[in-house]
Amino acid sequence: MSTLKGNAVIGQSGGPTAVINQSLVGCVEGLRTCDAIEKIYGAHHAVRGIVDGDLIDLTDVSAERLERIAQTPSSALGSSRDKPDEEYCRNICQSFEKLNIRYFFYIGGNDSSDTCRIVNEVAKSQGYELRAYHIPKTIDNDLEENDHTPGYGSAARFVACALMGDALDNKALPGIKVDVIMGRHAGFLTAASSLARTSDDDGPHLIYVPEVAFDIDRFIADVDRVFSRLGRCVIATSEGIHDADGTAIAAKLAADVEKDAHGNVQLSGSGALGDYLSQLIKDRLGKKLRVRADTFGYLQRSFAGCVSEVDQREARAAGRRAADLAIDGSDEGSIAIRRTSNDPYQVSYDRIELSDVAAKTRTLPLEYIVDGCDIAPSFREYALPLVGPLPIIEHF
Amino acid sequence: MSTLKGNAVIGQSGGPTAVINQSLVGCVEGLRTCDAIEKIYGAHHAVRGIVDGDLIDLTDVSAERLERIAQTPSSALGSSRDKPDEEYCRNICQSFEKLNIRYFFYIGGNDSSDTCRIVNEVAKSQGYELRAYHIPKTIDNDLEENDHTPGYGSAARFVACALMGDALDNKALPGIKVDVIMGRHAGFLTAASSLARTSDDDGPHLIYVPEVAFDIDRFIADVDRVFSRLGRCVIATSEGIHDADGTAIAAKLAADVEKDAHGNVQLSGSGALGDYLSQLIKDRLGKKLRVRADTFGYLQRSFAGCVSEVDQREARAAGRRAADLAIDGSDEGSIAIRRTSNDPYQVSYDRIELSDVAAKTRTLPLEYIVDGCDIAPSFREYALPLVGPLPIIEHF
């Protein structure tokens, strides 16, 4: 069997992660094994770079430099929030034809896999032979068919380490603390705050995820109950918590609601939700209370120097696997990471259909959510192997 | 010479740090070498624990457990924001007499050293023989007579790592980003954001510290200049920036200004300043701009798993040195860390008078501040040895 001849392009889309460059480098390493592939390009700022012909030539970048790129957080090629429609995708295919690109790899979340799917369909409908692969990436951990996604382990590690320190800070100087964590629809990242606990009464004491409607009276009663018992209370909440009608609490607070190309309301990059909950607690439970709020913001996804080694390794392997499959002649798909064993922890990298993952959202299984305000201990078994060994905590 | 016989108490005061427990353990280790000291107590929640007789017996805590405590961020004994007046200090001395405490160690910043000074004076005036030592601790790095203070290196490391990732995030998805960093009067911690740069045009592009009056028009012009040139702009600002009259910008925003016992207005634990600057940029430079703000908050001082090894070592040594001096008969003082050589990096731990450091604030030398909106490259030489080797960053 002769391998499809031509050039390759790789793009990185959506929010950066601490390990998205591992997937890029894994893919480049795979493509380099194939003589039929002449040029390997990186798309500068994702689909926009493809359409504009703004490409970074990765063909001859040294292995040492690639390794440094792999270790660097955020998207080295630049990213984009563009949501390509069919016309945009036809422009992408025109660029492919012009540059003789036969291999297309798109590293991203569910929106990015949908872009990959549309580009693939347009190419097929035009009789243009193309290998189109989506490589999973999202700190939200919300891709269907995956046990977990590259990017999640490192972001979850950041959240766990942050809560470990913050819960101890709150114990040292007692009060009520609200920590707002990324996650629009899926509570996986916020649930990782529960990994911070090492003994009874450790914070976070209350955890709120978007899978359950957020009720203000219930919330205040929860805080009051914990604070009355311990004299302190650490709350971890997803930025995406919403009322029973599905309206995000954060969206109600913004004077000018900002939406991206995907119609998503801006949740991150503002302390408004944390400050609102903080004020609410003071108004309802006492003006004199020491109430503080921190919004972890963009630090969660691209902090340098707090990365999960398992996450790094898997992100690299997912990129490599996509390249290998495409070279072997599989013309389209996405990579799903599946856990084959938990002790010892082992995963497989399976090819799935683009349509299995495109534009779908997986949420935190309800079995992990306790009374709408906590995460079950069983979540630790799921998440800890992804996060890696956590710092040692000792109490008096 | 016979060593003063009696018991010892150690307290941890003010904001926690990632290495304050190293100082606690260093002090305990020193005290254990002295047979004349029978009991070693930890004061639960600082001065309050002393007055209430709420003490943790550290005399026989195992070396292994102490080592784990040393590695744990935040104040293991619990902290306090109480500002003892003379009467409070007389109560402290009464407790000392009751418990035969002859050795008093207080780990904290400038307010804590002042408490130590007052307690010492009250004891002396009552003819009560006491060894009173202040052990330096503050992420603000604002103690007089010190080259730097334990706690700063780790917090500065957090800030540098955060800005490294965040500047890359901003490069991947361009826009304007405001990062708010702790620091009421001293800009040392915010200045550490400059360590994130590894090449030209790396963020942060603008840095504002409390040593220079903050002018809104000037700020907007700065942002406009950087954004026009690069199409992106990362801003690091101290929470303590203030106008020409000395009023903190953050204080102007709060509906109910909250003050602690020291008369300090609440700056941390709210995203208000970042959100205000963010809105200001939109209002003045364009509603459509992608402007985001993150407030690093309490994560800076107690994040688990991003600690400077130099900082750990020095915090331990400062605690040990205070114990050694007190045992040797020196009846009062504070420890000052002084740099004796920068290449190789070396420090000494000098005894200074309590009055040299008590209630005084050191600020960032003006030579490090460039045009009121940046930090000079020479700051790297000062700060990098304290922070330790930073993660590797590679660009395309």
| pTM recorded for the entire structure | 0.97
Q: What is the DSSP letter of A370?
A: E
Q: Considering chain B, what is the average pLDDT of its residues?
A: 95
Q: Which residues on neighbouring strands pair with residue A297, listed in sequence order?
A: none
The residues near B160 (Cβ < 8 Å, ≥ 6 apart) are B192, B193, B195, B196, B387, B390
d(CA B251, CA B266): 8
**What's the CATH number for A6-150+306-357?**
3.40.50.450
Whether this model's ipTM surpasses 0.85 comes out as yes
Q: How does A251-263 read in b/e, with b if 16+ C-beta sit within 10 Å?
A: beeeeeebeeeee
Helices (H) and strands (E) in chain A, counts: 14, 13
Q: Given an 8 Å threshold on Cβ–Cβ distance, is A168 in contact with B69?
A: no
Q: What is the CATH number of domain B152-305+365-387?
A: 3.40.50.460
pLDDT at res. A259: 72
> CA-CA distance, B76 to A46, in Å (whole number)?
47
Neighbour count for residue A344 (Cβ, 10 Å): 6
A200, with CB counted inside 10 A (0-12, 13-18, 19+), is exposed
Per-residue pLDDT of chain A (396 residues; tens, 9 = 90+): 578 999 999 999 999 999 999 999 999 999 999 999 999 999 999 999 999 999 999 999 999 999 999 999 999 999 998 889 989 999 999 999 999 999 999 999 999 999 999 999 999 999 999 999 999 999 999 999 999 999 999 999 999 999 999 999 999 999 999 999 999 999 999 999 999 999 989 999 999 999 999 999 999 999 999 999 999 999 999 999 999 999 999 888 865 667 777 677 777 778 999 999 999 999 999 989 999 999 999 999 999 989 999 999 999 999 999 999 999 999 999 999 999 999 999 999 999 999 999 989 999 999 999 999 999 999 999 999 999 999 999 999
Q: Do A293 and B269 touch (CB under 8 A)?
A: yes
Strands A176-181 and A291-295: parallel
User: How would you label B52-88 residue by residue, b for 16+ Cβ within 10 Å and e otherwise?
Assistant: eeebbebeebeeeebebbbbbbbbbbbbbbbbbeeeb
Q: What angle do CA A192, A196, A200 make, to 5 degrees?
A: 125
Collapsed DSSP state (helix, strand, coil) of residue B153: helix
Contact assignment for A72 to B168 by CB distance below 8 Å: yes
Q: Do B16 and A74 touch (CB under 8 A)?
A: no
Helix (H) or strand (E) holding B183: none
Q: Does B296 touch chain A (CB under 8 A)?
A: yes
> Which positions in chain A touch B270 (Cβ < 8 Å)?
271, 274-275, 278, 292-293
Tell me the percentage of chain B whose pLDDT exceeds 70: 98
Domain with CATH 3.40.50.460 in chain B: 152-305+365-387
Please write the tens of the pLDDT for every residue from B305-357.
899 999 999 999 999 999 999 999 999 999 999 999 999 999 999 999 999 99
Boundaries of CATH 3.40.50.460 in chain A?
A: 155-302+365-387
pLDDT tens for each residue of A351-374:
999 999 998 999 999 999 999 999
* A155-302+365-387: CATH architecture: 3-Layer(aba) Sandwich (3.40)
Q: Are strands B291-295 and B176-181 parallel, antiparallel or unpaired?
A: parallel
Give bridge partners of residue A135 from the DSSP assignment: A107
Distance from CA of B171 to the nearest CA of A (A): 7
At B232 the pLDDT is 97
The closest alpha carbon to B315, from B28, B69, B23, belongs to B23
Q: B56-110 pLDDT, tens per residue?
A: 999 999 999 999 999 999 999 999 988 899 899 999 999 999 999 999 999 999 9
CB contact at 8 A, B222 and B206:
yes
Convert the pLDDT of each residue in A178-222 to its tens digit. Answer: 999 999 999 999 999 999 999 989 999 999 999 999 999 999 999
Distance from CA of A63 to the nearest CA of B (A): 13
Residue B342 has a CB neighbour count (10 Å cut-off) of 12
Pairing of β A176-181 and β A206-208: unpaired
Task: Check if the beta carbon of residue B182 is closer than 8 Å to that of residue B301.
Answer: yes
- The answer to whether residue B177 neighbours chain A at the CB level (below 8 Å) is yes
Chain A / chain B CB contacts < 8 angstroms? 225
**DSSP letter at B44?**
T
Best to test chain A binding among B306, B312, B390, B395 (most A CBs inside 10 Å): B306
Q: In the predicted model, is pLDDT for residue B242 greater than 60?
A: yes
Closest residue of B to A80, CA-based? B173
Instruction: From chain A, pick out residues whose CB is under 8 angstroms from the CB of B10.
Output: none
Residues B102-125: what's their mean pLDDT?
96
Contact across the interface for A173 and B391, Cβ inside 8 Å: no
What pLDDT sits at residue A251? 85
> What's the pLDDT score for residue A359?
87
Between CA A31 and CA A335 the distance in angstroms is 16
CATH top class, domain B6-150+307-357: alpha beta
B395 with A76: Cβ contact below 8 A: yes
List where CATH 3.40.50.450 sits in chain A: 6-150+306-357
Contact B135, B171 (CB under 8 A): no
Q: How far apart are CA A304 and CA A21, in angstroms?
A: 13
A390 part of contact set with chain B, CB < 8 Å? yes
Q: How far apart are CA A250 and CA B279, in angstroms?
A: 16
Q: Where in chain B is the domain with CATH 3.40.50.450?
A: 6-150+307-357
Q: What phi and psi, each to the nearest 5 degrees, are found at residue A165?
A: -65, -45
